[in-house]
Amino acid sequence: MTAPDKAAVHFYISTDIDVAIAVSNIRRLEMLADFPPAVCSLLATVVSELANNIRKYAQRGTIQLIRLEAPTRYGVEIMASDVGPGIPDLAMAMRDHYSTGGTLGLGLPGVRRMMDEFQIWSAPNQGARVTTRKWHLRHLEI
């Protein structure tokens, strides 16, 4: 599996406008042009959830999208990272309806369900990083 050159996009998140720009640009990214529209909508939702978490809990961070290529499938990796206070209890944060910020508590568990691969890391005062991937099968010519 490789990530081709120039197949990465970075969004710097520090304001609500940055979140809106990142979400609204998902459907316009050339790297996602061959994904079905429903998958692009799902990816926009994932970026929205992750970017809003950065704004709410860390104030600033980045969202990175990387195009992935494999022989029988292609995909996209979305990585959200920040250097905020970290997530105090990862196990609880991954449970539906758990929230320390007065929200519905469905963001991170929802992202995990929407994507094919999901990893999360956090440490006190070192921030958090969520790495997730969505795959789409290639139509192979026989």
pLDDT of residue 92: 74
- Domain 8-137 coded CATH 3.40.50.850: no
For residues 98 and 111, give the distance between their C-alpha atoms in angstroms, rounded to a whole number.
14
Summarised one tens digit per residue, pLDDT across range 62-73 is 999 999 999 999
pLDDT band at 2 (very low <50, low <70, confident <90, very high): very low
Summarised one tens digit per residue, pLDDT across range 45-87 is 999 999 999 999 999 999 999 999 999 999 999 999 999 999 8
17, two tokens = 């406008």
Side-chain-side CA neighbours of 36 within 13 Å: the count stands at 9
pLDDT of residue 31: 93
pTM of the model: 0.88
Name beta bridge partners: 135: 75
Name beta bridge partners: 123: 127
For residues 140 and 95, give the distance between their C-alpha atoms in angstroms, rounded to a whole number.
38
For residues 119 and 88, give the distance between their C-alpha atoms in angstroms, rounded to a whole number.
16
Q: What is the mean pLDDT of the chain?
A: 89
Position 18 pLDDT exceeds 50: yes
Contacts of 60 (CB under 8 A, 6+ apart): 12, 13, 14, 54, 82, 83, 84
Q: Which residue has the tokens 């994932």?
A: 46
Going from N- to C-terminal start, the domains of the chain cover: 8-137
